[in-house]
Amino acid sequence: MSPPMPSVQSSSPPLTGPPAPDLKVLGELAKKPETPASVAGADSVSGLNAGDLALKISVIQETWMSLESGQSTIYSGLLYPGQSKTFALNKPLKLTLGNAGGVRCLVNDKPLLPLGKPGEVRVLMISPENYQQFLAPAE
């Protein structure tokens, strides 16, 4: 006959109801959250080579943005005031903005016209062949 197993008592309450708001799905713990303070002023460059046209997107109001080339998503996410992203404009790009008035864009340091109004959702196709139509008139 084997000795009786000791009973184990848990000091934790039983799991009932919705999960606590601070619980994360497995895998989410490894992600580091991007906060406006930690990313403000960050300028990342994606796929830029010498001689390429450079599309720089500077954020002045919180904006959701997606940038695609062909079937590939180059960037998708929420951007905060003070952030900027720079991308190579060496092939056609599909730019989707959730707040078109919240960004200012440059191609090789030449400003583009405003892409929309604050809060306006815009989808634009910009390429090395057509970017000139978006340029602001020289002052």
pLDDT (mean) for 1-14 = 51
Domain of residue 97 covers 39-129
| Any domain includes 24 | no
pLDDT digits (tens, 9 = 90+) for 104-125: 999 999 999 999 999 999 999 9
2-6, 45-49, 81-85: range with lowest mean pLDDT: 2-6
User: DSSP letters of 90-139?
Assistant: SS-EEEEESSGGGEEEEETTEEBPP-S-TT--EEEEE-TTTGGGGBPPP-
| Any domain includes 73 | yes
| Any domain includes 18 | no
| Any domain includes 23 | no
| Any domain includes 22 | no
| Any domain includes 113 | yes
> What global pTM score does this model have?
0.66
pLDDT digits (tens, 9 = 90+) for 42-82: 455 555 666 779 999 999 999 999 999 999 999 999 999 99
Q: How many domains does the chain have?
A: 1
